[in-house]
Chain A
Amino acid sequence: MKILVCISKTPDTTTKIAFTEGNTKLDENGVQWIINPYDEWYSLVKAIELKEKDASVTIHLITVGGADTEPIIRKALALGGDEAIRVNNNSNDSFIVAQEIAAIAKEGSYDLILTGKETIDYNSASIGSMLCALLDQNFISAAVKLDLNGNTLQVVREIDGGEETGELNFPAIISCQKGMAEQRIPNMRGIMAARTKPLKVVEASVTNATTHIKNFELPPAKSGVKLIDPDNMDELVRLLKEEAKVI
C-alpha cells in the first residue's frame, strides 16, 4: 500500500503574530517553523502505525513550498517517511496547492492520501476536500480513527455533536485530527536516516490564483479585564446580564 502524507509548514503555536509591509505579510522575524501539528501528530503518525502493522506499506511525503520547507520535510522523514517530494511553489492559494498535490497524486497512484484537518496558520481546512473533487475519490474529513480490514477502511469522523463511522475502499482521502494517533518524538536513528532519504524537487506547474490576501489585521486589544470581588458574585451576574447581555 502506498500512502501519500501531505505535510505543510506553519509558525510554531506560541508565535506572537505580527505583520510587515503595510500589513500584507507575516513578519517572519524570529518565527520558528514547525510541521503543522495535524500533519505531524495525526496523519504522519497514523501512516507510521499502518506501516508498523504491514511492512509492505510505503510512506511518501509531499509538501508544496519553497526551499525553506526542507527542514520541515527532513523532520517528517526523520519521524518515519520513506521518501519525499517537494513541489517548488510558494503559493498560499489552496486551489493552487491542491492542484499541485493532485498532479503528483495522479502520477503516483497512491492508495491513501492523508492530510491534516487544517493548517494552524490560514485555517483553510480545504486541501482534502479539494483533492476529493480533483481526483474524484472518497473523502472523509476530520477523522478521529482509522482501521484497516483487508481492503476496507473503517473511518470514524467527527460530526456536530458526535461521531460517525463509515466503511469505504481504496483509494481514499482522509483528513486527520486528534484521536487518530499519538504524537511521537523523532529518535537519533531516524534523524540520521533522514539525511539520506530521497527528497525530490518538482517544479511548480500551477499559477492561476483564485484568491489574493489583501491585508492582515490584529484583533482590537481587549479593553482590560474588569475584576470582580470573589465575595460578590451577584455583581458578576448583574454585569453578565446588563452590561454584556449574554445571559
Chain B
Amino acid sequence: MVLIYIDQDEQEIKKASFEAISYGATIAKQLGTTAEALLLGTVKNNLADLGKWGANKVHHVNNIVLNSFDARVNATVVAETAKSLGATVLIFAHNLNGRAIAPAVAVKLGAGIVTGACALPKTDAGFVVTKTVFSGKAFASIEISTPIKVISINQNSFGTVISDAIATVHELAVAVPSSTLKITSVHKIQGEVPLTEASLVVSGGRGLKGPEHWGVLLDLAKALGASTACSRPVSDADWRPHHEHVGQTGIQIAPNLYIAIGISGAIQHLAGVNRSKTIVVINKDGEAPFFKAADYGVVGDAFEVVPALTAAILKSKSNA
C-alpha cells in the first residue's frame, strides 16, 4: 500500500499535498496496490474529496493537538501509523514540513529514502527514483534497496491528475506523544502565493538599480497574477525582503514561468530557478549568461521593455 502524507497549514490542506496524492496514486497503480492518504489534525477540507486526486482511502488522526507542527511528534505518529497499516511506499511533498519529517519517518521504519524526487520511480526491476542533484545542475537515479521505500516529491514536478472518485474516510485512534515544542507565533506574508507554490514568478536583479524602481516589475506581476522574487544581492541590500531571494542559498523554485529582469544569470542564481518550465530573460546586455538558460529573451532596457510587456499582457487579457 502507498501511504501519502497530507500536509496542512491553518486547517487547510497544502497545494503540494494534492500533487503528492496524484503522484502516490500513480505509483500505487504501477504497483497494483491502493493509494491511501494520512492526515494528522483537523482541516476544513472535505476528506472524501481527496479521492479526486487519487486517494482510495483517507486515514484521519483526528487530534487537534496535531494542528501545530512538531517534527518529532508528527514523525512518530506517521511512522506508527504506517507500521500498523502496513504501508510499503510512503510519499511526502518536498515542502518545508515534508522535508522536516520524511527522513525521520524513514529512519523509524528502517526505510531507504530519496528526497526531492522529480519523476515517477521505475519499478520494473528494483525501485529506482530520479531526483535533482547539484542544485538542479544534474539528475541522479537512486535505487532504494529496503522493503519499505520513502519518497518526497519536488513541488511542481508531477502535476495533479483529477477524477470524480471519492475516498472512504477512516478515523484512526493513535497515541500521540506529548510535544515539548511551544509555537509562540506565526507570521504569514499577507495576500501572496508562497513562492514555492507559485506557477508564475517575476524576478528582479541588480539591473533594476534600486528599490524605488521596483514599480515596473510589480505592475507586470500584478498583470500576470504572478509572485515576485529577486536575486541575492537585491535582498542582501534590503531592496526586497529576504523571503524573495531565490538561488542556491535562497529558495529553489520550479514555476511554469520565470521572468528574470536585470539578472545576469550567475550559476548560483540559476541553481534556484533552472527547474522552471519556461524562462524569459529581459536584460540590456545580450551577452548576459542568463540567455543561455532561457527559452525566450528580450535584449533591451528593462524600464522600456517591462512596461511594454505589461501593456501587451493587459491588452491580450481584455481581448480574451
Seen from chain A, the residues whose Cβ lies within 8 Å of a Cβ on chain B are: 11, 13-15, 17, 19, 37-38, 41, 94-95, 98, 120-130, 132-134, 136-142, 154, 157-169, 177-179, 209-219, 222, 225-228, 230-231, 233-234, 236-241, 244, 246-247
Contact = CB atoms under 8 A, between A and B. Distances in A.
Contact of B305 (A41, A158, A230, A238): A230
Interface residues of B, number: 101
Contacts of A179: 242
Interface in B177-195: 180-189, 192-195
B71 interface: yes
Given A13-B271, A160-B9, A161-B192, A138 B72 contact: yes
B267 A13 contact: yes
Nearest to A183: B249
B317 to A, nearest CB: 9
Nearest to B112: A210
Interface string B120-142: 00000000100111111111111
Which of B103, B132, B301, B312 has the most chain A CB atoms closer than 10 A to its own CB? B103
Contact of A216 (B111, B140, B144): B140
Contacts of B96: 141-142, 157-160
A17 B248 CA distance: 15
B88 interface: no
Contacts of B173: none
Contacts of B142: 211-214
A247 B97 contact: no
Contact of B139 (A138, A210, A216): A216
B278 A178 contact: no
A98 B107 contact: yes
A161 B146 CA distance: 35
B300 interface: yes
B107 A17 contact: no
Contact of B141 (A37, A137, A217): A217
Contacts of A95: 106-107, 112-113
B308 A233 contact: yes
A239 B278 CA distance: 11
Q: Which label, helix, strand, loop or mixed, suits the secondary structure of the A interface?
A: mixed
A159 B134 contact: no
Interface string B281-304: 100000000011111111111001
B67 interface: no
Contacts of A214: 128, 141-143
A130 B296 contact: no
Interface string B200-243: 10000000000000000000000010000000000000000011
B112 A17 contact: no
A179 B238 CA distance: 13
B170 interface: no
Contacts of A166: 181-184
A38 B145 CA distance: 30
Contacts of A247: 200, 224, 257, 313
B153 interface: no
